[in-house]
Amino acid sequence: MNKFIENVEISILKIVVDTLGQLSNGICLASKEGFTSGKMLDYIYKNEPTGKLGIGKLIDKIYLNHPGWQDVRTRKQNLVANLKEAVDLTLQAKGSARICDVASGPARYIIETLESYKDKAVTAELRDIDIRWLLEAKETAESRGINIEYKTANALEDNDFNFEKQPDIMVASGFYDWFDDKEIIKKSMSLIYNALPKNGYFVFSIQAGHVALSLTNKIFKDFNNHQLKMVTWDMDIINSILKEIGFSVILTRSDDKGHYPVLLAKKV
> What does pLDDT average to over the chain?
88
Domain boundaries, the chain: 2-65, 69-267
- CATH of segment(s) 69-267: 3.40.50.150
Range in 75-79, 132-136, 253-257 with the lowest mean pLDDT: 132-136
* pTM for the predicted model, two decimal places: 0.86
Work out the pLDDT band at 158, boundaries 50, 70, 90: very high
pLDDT for residue 8 is more than 50: no
pLDDT for residue 181 is more than 60: yes
C-alpha radius of gyration, the chain, whole number: 19
Chain segment 20-30, per-residue pLDDT in tens? 768 888 888 88
Q: What phi and psi, each to the nearest 5 degrees, are found at residue 127?
A: -130, 140
